[in-house]
């Protein structure tokens, strides 16, 4: 007879391997918001880099990290990577839309609303950093989980080259 029960060990192992999945997914969600940021700025003369806003983002996560049991400086480094990743997306899209104006967005989303979304994602990222703290110690186990999470996430979200490149930066300090 053919067994219909799932192979228990491999299920547990699969779940184990996917433990960085939610964190990678949030990193992807944040860099996808970069598409909206780019659309809000493109053609307005507004620069991609906004050092004042970046400092606000980093100050906020630094303040939240300690009480959550996270290392403040490591947390700041992680969010610096998220900002760099976001700007990779923005620069890539600006470049694409300049070369192919037909692909440029025709509506301009409100940057203030987009920033609220980024603030919400920051809170969720911090929560996920806390729940994955024990498995993010440097080593092969973390790297394998990260590779799985990154590849699965990139496939699920159908990321193109530009967004995969940004994802590499976004996950750089996870392990």
Binding site for ligand ISJ (CB under 6 A): 37, 49-50, 53-54, 57, 82-83, 86-87, 115, 118
- The nearest distance, CB 19 to ligand ISJ, in angstroms, is 25
CA angle, corner 99, sides to 95 and 105, nearest 5?
75
Tokens read off for 147 = 């590779």
- The nearest distance, CB 158 to ligand ISJ, in angstroms, is 22
* C-beta of 4 vs 112, nearer to ligand ISJ: 112
- The nearest distance, CB 82 to ligand ISJ, in angstroms, is 6
* C-beta of 18 vs 62, nearer to ligand ISJ: 62
Separation between Cα atoms, residue 127 and residue 121, nearest integer Å: 10
* C-beta of 87 vs 145, nearer to ligand ISJ: 87
* C-beta of 13 vs 49, nearer to ligand ISJ: 49
- The nearest distance, CB 84 to ligand ISJ, in angstroms, is 8
Residue-by-residue DSSP string for 86-110:
HHHHHHHHHHHHHH-GGGS-SS---
Q: Which residue is nearest to ligand ISJ (CB)?
A: 86
Alpha carbon distance, N-terminus to C-terminus of the chain: 44
The size of the chain, in residues, is 175
From the centroid of its chain, how far is CA 123?
12
Residue 151: half-sphere exposure toward Cβ, Cα within 13 Å = 8
- The nearest distance, CB 119 to ligand ISJ, in angstroms, is 9
* C-beta of 83 vs 126, nearer to ligand ISJ: 83
CA angle, corner 8, sides to 6 and 10, nearest 5?
95
């Amino acid at each position: 007879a053919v067994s219909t029960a799932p192979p228990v060990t491999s299920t547990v192992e699969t779940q184990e391997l996917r433990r960085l999945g939610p964190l990678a997914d949030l990193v992807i969600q944040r860099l996808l918001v970069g598409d909206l940021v780019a659309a809000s700025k493109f053609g307005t003369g507004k620069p991609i880099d906004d050092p004042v806003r970046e400092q606000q983002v980093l100050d906020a996560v630094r303040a939240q990290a300690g009480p959550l049991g996270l290392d403040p400086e490591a947390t700041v480094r992680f969010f610096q990577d998220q900002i760099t990743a976001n700007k990779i997306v923005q620069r890539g899209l600006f470049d694409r839309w300049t070369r192919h104006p037909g692909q440029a967005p025709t509506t301009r989303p409100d940057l203030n609303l987009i920033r609220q979304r980024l603030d919400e994602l920051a809170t969720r990222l911090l929560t996920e950093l806390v729940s994955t703290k024990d498995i993010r110690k440097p080593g092969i186990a973390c790297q394998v989980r990260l590779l799985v999470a990154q590849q699965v996430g990139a496939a699920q979200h159908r990321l193109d080259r530009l967004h995969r490149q940004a994802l590499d930066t976004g996950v750089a300090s996870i392990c």
